[in-house]
Amino acid sequence: MDPQMQKGAPISFHKAAIQACLTSLDSAPAAEDSESILGDVFRRISEPVIPDSPDFYGVVNHRLFRHILSHYRDGAENLCLWRFIKNLTPDQMAEPESADPDLEMFDFLLRIYFHSSPLEDLTCLFIPINDPGLIRNYMNWIERYFYHADYPTSLLWLYALDSSLSSLFPDELLYLGRFKTDPYLNLIVPDFDHEDTVLIKRFTGAPGHFLQLEGKIANDEFDQIFKFLKQEYRDRCLSRSIKQNKGEERSAREKEWEKFEDVLRFGVSDRTESGAISFSDMRASTEFLTTHGKSFYLNKIQQPFFENTKLISKYYNGRIDKFMGDNVMCVFLNPRESSASEDKDQAALNNFFAIFELCRILFDLIHQEGIQDTRLGLRSGVSYGDQILRSNLGNEFVRDFTVTGESVNLAARLEHISIHELKLHNEMYFQNAVDRFPKISRLISVSEDYGKLNPETRSIIDDFTLYQNIYSNLEKLERSRFDIRMNQLFYHRIQDYLEKSGARFLNPDESKIHGYEAYEVDGFRLQFFFLYYNPKGFAKYEKIWILPLEPEMLRHLKLSPLSRR
């Protein structure tokens, strides 16, 4: 007998048999056939196996192979592989044809687990959302390795890398053991009383930078990590089962992948961030639908508008968070790694340009269909702030990836508030001036010099005059079909953009009493009307701005970032 066979054959000795097994598995019509194929191959392996190399993949392959034999040759049940990846090695993210024989075998053995029904497997991947270049690599790896594979049993969980849990992990972690059987458990929970377990940690891609633990020590260490994992799974995990669903069409999976990729690119966060949030809602859409019919509205207006919404949002580096009936919510976040003021301005400007283009698109659709007499329009509420939290809300069955926070809430309220309600808010804000002005006006003679009045009296007169102008402005705004409502922080960034682009400020001396600031841009007059709004119904009022967009403006005005002018 070969001396090598006396102490055990290296795993590569069985490479041809494993490759033939995978070829058969890929063409097996049912999971039952897969189990028969796997059993025939691995029950014939009687001799011990040894690692092909002392490196990480050689050691891992040895453990994976022994785990497979434990079930198919020795009859062990409820075996499971948990794999957690924080940093894939460059070799792992490369194309399938790897020059490393250990890594190639690693790929083969993992595919055995993915095909095997009794051998449960779970892969958790932490997406590096702070590095856009790596995200694309990770997405290609997921798409190639999991999404288009149609394995019978594999389960993939994904987290954003800035999850608090990621600090507990090395670059890669594999835990091989037994899972608990409980019909009420949604998670694959390890049996920490099982003695034949192994935990392998890879700290870097360098040779020898890994650690192997066995038995009770492996169980105790993984138990600590798994406690955090269960909480993270409920709160933040983006889970996807790769288990085959015969009734699911390929086109449906492709559509799901687009949304899935978008979520992963955007990520989730443990800290608040800054940027702009907008809600844009079609005005008078119900009235339009009743008048023109559902088919015309959906096919000629709503669907073309929403399709263009996706393109515009992507062009300006935004993300469509969700569609809600006739309302679209968009998110434009500042770059995390940058503290430059121009980068902070860009999120607001991009949102502003995107809303302007959306108004133009809807306006063009209306004219294209010859329905100019309709009241259909677009009303947008947008806010800029630093209280934005990227969240993954829900549970393991239904998840809604979105953003939350004060900035989000304010944008939603600005879009929803009616002109009538804004009149009431401003009447309350100027209540003191409204109540006191009649008495003051009776005491002051027409010819009296305004400059000789005491400051308090002048303040009442100025406030009452501003209130009258704001009320008059709101009367005009009520007739506007397209407008953008914005908070003070957002307007300041638009104002700065206009000044840098050479727009002329038309009424600097009278703006505070007229209730608006006007800029001339390419021969068009942009009027930003200001007023006061109490979003929470308490004592605090916010100064907000409304920009109406007239038909000629939407038809001919071109707004673009300074870098593209």
Whether residue 151 is predicted with pLDDT greater than 90 in this model: the reply is: no
Q: Are 482 and 363 in contact (CB under 8 A)?
A: yes
Mean confidence (pLDDT) of the chain: 84
Q: Minimal CA–CA distance to 118: which of 187, 32, 182? A: 32
Q: Which residue has the higher pLDDT, 261 or 185?
A: 261
Question: With a threshold of 0.85, does the pTM exceed it?
Answer: no
Q: Are 165 and 159 in contact (CB under 8 A)?
A: yes
Specify whether 96 is located in the same domain as 144.
yes
Specify whether 348 is located in the same domain as 207.
no
Find the helix packing angle between 56-72 and 101-115, rounded to 10°.
30
Paired tokens of 364: 């063009």
Mean pLDDT on 338-347: 67
pLDDT-derived band of residue 145, with 50, 70 and 90 as boundaries?
confident
The residues facing 170 across adjacent strands are none
Whether 222 maps to a domain, the answer reads yes
Specify whether 222 is located in the same domain as 284.
no
Find the helix packing angle between 31-42 and 101-115, rounded to 10°.
130
What's the pLDDT at 514?
A: 95
In the chain, what percentage of residues exceed pLDDT 90?
46
What's the pLDDT at 273?
A: 79
CA distances from 118 to 24, 150, 179 (A): 18, 17, 11
Specify whether 248 is located in the same domain as 291.
no
Q: How far apart are CA 349 and CA 346, in angstroms?
A: 5
Question: Which of these three, 220, 238, 259, is where a domain ends?
Answer: 259
DSSP letter (8 states) at residue 232: H
Specify whether 133 is located in the same domain as 73.
yes
The residues facing 328 across adjacent strands are 280, 323
Whether residue 11 is predicted with pLDDT greater than 90 in this model: the reply is: yes
Whether 446 maps to a domain, the answer reads no
What's the pLDDT at 308?
A: 87
Whether residue 261 is predicted with pLDDT greater than 60 in this model: the reply is: yes
For 456-503, the pLDDT digits (tens) are 888 888 899 999 999 999 999 999 999 999 999 999 999 999 999 999
Whether 59 maps to a domain, the answer reads yes
Q: How far apart are CA 519 and CA 540, in angstroms?
A: 29
Specify whether 284 is located in the same domain as 210.
no
Specify whether 409 is located in the same domain as 548.
yes
> Beta strands 273-283 and 120-127: pairing type?
unpaired
What's the pLDDT at 158?
A: 76
What's the pLDDT at 472?
A: 97
Dihedral angle sign, alpha carbons of residues 17, 19, 24, 25: positive
Question: Which of these three, 259, 287, 317, is where a domain ends?
Answer: 259
Whether residue 359 is predicted with pLDDT greater than 90 in this model: the reply is: yes
For 280-319, the pLDDT digits (tens) are 999 888 888 888 888 998 899 988 998 888 888 888 888 8
What's the pLDDT at 26?
A: 82
Paired tokens of 264: 């992963």
Residues in contact with 554: Cβ distance below 8 Å, sequence separation at least 6, in sequence order = 359, 360, 363, 482
Residue 219 CA to chain centroid, in angstroms? 35
Domain region containing 496: 271-416+480-564
Q: Give the number of residues written for the chain.
A: 565
DSSP letter (8 states) at residue 179: B
Whether residue 101 is predicted with pLDDT greater than 70 in this model: the reply is: yes
Number of domains in the chain: 2
Return the SS3 of 280. Answer: strand
Q: Minimal CA–CA distance to 200: which of 230, 227, 224, 177? A: 177
> Which position has the token pair 């669907």?
303
Whether residue 131 is predicted with pLDDT greater than 90 in this model: the reply is: no
- Burial tier of 308 (Cβ tally within 10 Å: 0-12, 13-18, 19+): middle
DSSP letter (8 states) at residue 430: T
What's the pLDDT at 443?
A: 64
Specify whether 177 is located in the same domain as 286.
no
Q: Are 530 and 469 in contact (CB under 8 A)?
A: no
Question: Which of these three, 229, 259, 289, is where a domain ends?
Answer: 259
Specify whether 240 is located in the same domain as 290.
no
Residue 318 CA to chain centroid, in angstroms? 10
Mean pLDDT on 428-451: 76
Question: Highest mean pLDDT range out of 110-119, 226-235, 522-531?
Answer: 522-531
CA distances from 60 to 11, 91, 224, 469 (A): 11, 16, 22, 75
Q: How far apart are CA 299 and CA 294, in angstroms?
A: 8
Q: Are 175 and 207 in contact (CB under 8 A)?
A: no
Specify whether 76 is located in the same domain as 131.
yes
Radius of gyration of the chain (CA): 32
What's the pLDDT at 483?
A: 96
> Beta strands 198-202 and 210-214: pairing type?
antiparallel
Whether residue 434 is predicted with pLDDT greater than 70 in this model: the reply is: yes
Whether 452 maps to a domain, the answer reads no
Whether 473 maps to a domain, the answer reads no
Residue 89 CA to chain centroid, in angstroms? 25
Mean pLDDT on 334-343: 61
Q: Which of 45-54, 217-226, 293-302, 383-392 has the lowest mean pLDDT?
A: 383-392
Q: Minimal CA–CA distance to 80: which of 157, 193, 177? A: 177
Q: Which of 174-178, 448-452, 539-543 has the lowest mean pLDDT?
A: 448-452
For 171-224, the pLDDT digits (tens) are 999 999 999 876 555 678 899 999 999 999 999 989 899 999 999 999 999 998
> Beta strands 155-160 and 120-127: pairing type?
parallel
Return the SS3 of 120. Answer: strand
Whether 443 maps to a domain, the answer reads no
Q: How far apart are CA 100 and CA 104, in angstroms?
A: 6
DSSP letter (8 states) at residue 194: -
Give the count of alpha carbons within 13 A of 189, CB side only: 14
Specify whether 201 is located in the same domain as 276.
no
CATH code where residue 505 lies? 3.30.70.1230
Whether 13 maps to a domain, the answer reads yes
Mean pLDDT on 422-451: 80
Return the SS3 of 323. Answer: strand
Phi, psi of 485 (to 5 degrees): -100, 135
Amino acid of residue 325? G
Specify whether 236 is located in the same domain as 340.
no
Whether 429 maps to a domain, the answer reads no
Q: How far apart are CA 274 and CA 348, in angstroms?
A: 10
Q: Which of 303-307, 452-456, 547-551 has the lowest mean pLDDT?
A: 452-456
